[in-house]
Structure 1
Amino acid sequence: MQHSLLGIHHVTAITSDPQRNIDFYTGVLGLRLVKVTVNFDDPSSYHLYYGDKEGHPGTILTFFAWPGAPRGRQGTGQINATAFSVPEGSLGYWISYLLERGIKYEGPTARFGEQVLSLRDPDGLVIEIVAHLGEQEPPGWENGAIPAEHAIRGISNVTLWEDDYEQTAHFLTDTLGFRLVSEEQNTFRYELGTGESGTRVDVRNAHGFWRGAVATGTVHHVAWRVATDEAQQKWRELLDARDFNVTPVLDREYFHSIYFPEPGGVLFEIATDPPGFTVNEPVEQLGTRLQLPPWLEAQRSEIERLLPPLRYGLR
């Protein structure tokens, strides 16, 4: 279908400390800070975006910064891990690098034919590093903390924990167009398109496990990519016709969004690829200045007064 989902657009999680978050994702994981803005629904808090050099869809991890918020609880109805993809030959580098930094990790563990390292960020969010066969393009960011040949290439997949696995499985295949490609114990892998990195979602059947609570150190939602506004509108019409609680189209300045909960309770978004992160600053200056959408620009002085100061800029 012309309006088919293309894969993961971004993942959004929650941090309690925006500066510590920047220091970890740029200084340790080597991602680029591609946009410093505010939560459009709560302009008194930061919204931080990380990705590759240009912030391509599929490379983006974002954070709502909620200082003082309680720690969340990971459980069912939630995304419990976000996996980043690196070249297959780079896992040894990452193991040595994490050891030198004194960063605790688990693995490598074999999963669906790939080797996976698991670690946690300073808020307890589960991050995975997946050695993905053939993962060379796009090239890694050359100015990051990790050498370009070993750098993160993008998001590989997310893992959902579900109490009622079957209803989510049917929704992924019958509505969103995923296909089941593999199963290991109680985890099922689904793919879109040709199944390359970034088009996959793993669903763990966690029946009877406690329900997750979204707060600091948890994922808020995952966004799936579409190429155009027209494709997004088709999805909105389809979801509405099937009685999913889908929002109107919302202007996020760098993309347009609709949101809806999947049957197990995980918040899904469908986001457009355009216009992208260079709409208000050139590639060379991404993430170097607080950016506000036009409808908040008149409030810049008040917003800057409320936000805690951060160390960021050219990097």
Structure 2
Amino acid sequence: MAITTSGLHHVTAIGGDPRRNVDFYLRTLGLRLVKTTVNFDDNATYHLYYGDASGKPGTLMTFFPWKDAPRGRIGTGQASVTSFSVPESSIGWWQEHLRATGVEVSRVRNSDNEETLTFRDPDGLVLSLVAHPQGDPRDPWDTPLVPAQHAIRGLHSVTLSVTEEDATAAMLTEDLGLRFLHQDGNRLRFEAGDGGAGALVDVLVTPDAPRGLTAAGTVHHVAWRVPDEATQVVWRDELLDKGVNVTSILDRQYFRSIYFREPGGTLLEVATDTGGFDVDEPLLELGRALKLPPWLEPKREEIEALLPALDLPRENNPEVAAP
């Protein structure tokens, strides 16, 4: 494989009530809502993007939230844990903050000497906050809801749950260009690019675990970074030549994407760094209004009638929000 990824681009999950989703990820986790749009394949639900101030690749967690979606089952064939990076000195603050909001938290130190808080969002999605010992130089979204010195810096890693590791490990190393770092029991760690927070994936091998069921509270797909569309075209051709079943290049308005499954079952995406969330609204106003791609604008009135209003805290757009 001539082309390799530099790290995670985003993780997309399925949620329940969109207003509850916004409340948790903005007010409890202190992320910024950088885009309010719809699922391009099912316009009856939002597609909500959370991240840093501008929604840089590697900071993004996105959701398809259906109010009445049934609860899914986390298991093999899925990304079973999504981890965010926080400062090493902030774990204690986050533990108290989450408990104060009624979130149950477990605290451990893993074999990489990373202190980790694990918890669930309101729909049961498993999340963790990880203090990477080498630190994380990325600037956080600065909001009074979560002080900047403690704020999430971006994605840290994802955990893929599989029943057998060989084929999944081969795709990660041979088709995505990741490097195997080490194995700790039934957990294998790989890194992309320069490594560190935002470029890690763990493969958890659980042969007897039940198969995951994709619905509310589960990850839909994991996206990896590619610098531009020209590189993506070459990469797609290489994957096709190796017999991987890859989609055509899809216009996601803010980036371009291809999709395929790794052998263990998790849906993967390769998304371009080019594009950005300020292509259809100013940086200071990100997330405030429903944005639709040109091909859906003729259906705006119909789409808006299906979607509940969102209650965004003024801190999401402090410079432009009404006092």
TM-score by length of 2: 0.95
Asked if the contact 2:136/2:197 (under 8 Å) is kept, the reply is no
RMSD: 1.3
Corresponding residue number in structure 1 for 2:319: none
* Deviation by residue 1:134-157 (Cα, 9 ceiling, x = unmatched): 434222211251100110000000
The offset of 1:306, in angstroms, is 1.3
Query: What is the aligned-residue identity percentage?
Result: 51
- C-alpha separation in 1, matches of 2:73 and 2:313: 33
1:59 aligned partner, one-letter code: T
- Partner residue in 1 for 2:42: 42
CA distance in structure 1 between the partners assigned to 2:246 and 2:139 by the alignment: 36
Q: Is 2:54 the counterpart of 1:54?
A: yes
Secondary structure class of the residue paired with 1:139:
coil
Contact 1:139 1:149 in 2 (8 A): no
Alignment of 1:110-149 (within 5 A): 110-149=110-149
Note if contact 1:130-1:156 (Cα within 8 Å) is conserved in structure 2: yes
Q: Deviations over 1:131-182 (max 9, x none)?
A: 1124342222112511001100000000000012111011111221111112
Worse-matched range after superposition: 106-115 or 250-259? 106-115
CA distance in 1 between counterparts of 2:139 and 2:250 reads 32
**What secondary structure, in the 3-state scheme, does the structure 1 residue paired with 2:275 have?**
coil
SS in 1 for 2:278: helix
Match of 2:165 in 1: 165
Give 1:130 deviation, angstroms. Answer: 0.1
SS of equivalent to 1:50 = strand
Q: Is the 8 A contact 2:248 2:258 kept in 1?
A: yes
Give yes or no for contact 1:9–1:225 (8 Å, CA) kept in 2.
yes
Q: Give the AA of the match of 1:259.
A: Y
Q: CA deviation at 1:109?
A: 3.2
Taking the TM superposition and a 5 Å limit, the aligned residue runs for 1:1-315 are: 3-312=3-312, 314=314, 315=316
How far apart are residue 6 of structure 1 and its match? 1.2
Partner amino acid, structure 2, of 1:78: Q
Partner letter of residue 190 of structure 1? F
Unaligned runs of 5+ in 2: 317-323
| Distance in 2 separating the partners of 1:175 and 1:304 | 40
In 1, Cα distance between equivalents of 2:111 and 2:300: 47
Determine the C-alpha separation between the residues in 2 that align with 1:302 and 1:135: 47
Measured at CA, do residues 8 and 144 of structure 1 come closer, stay the same or move farther in structure 2, by a change above 3 Å?
Answer: farther
SS in 2 for 1:172: helix
- Is this contact kept in 1: 2:77–2:212, CA < 8 A? yes
CA deviation after TM superposition for structure 1 residue 108, in Å: 2.9
Question: Is contact 2:134–2:196 with CA below 8 Å preserved after alignment?
Answer: no
- In the TM superposition, residue 278 of structure 1 has moved relative to its aligned partner by 0.8
Structure 1 stretches lacking a partner, 5+ long: none
- Give the residue type in structure 1 aligned to 2:237: E
Q: What is the identity, as a one-letter code, of the residue corresponding to 2:241?
A: A
The worse-fitting range, judged by mean Cα deviation, of 104-113 and 30-39 is 104-113
Displacement of 1:298 in angstroms is: 1.3
Distance across 2 between alignment mates of 1:64 and 1:221: 11
CA contact (8 A) 2:4 2:178 kept: no
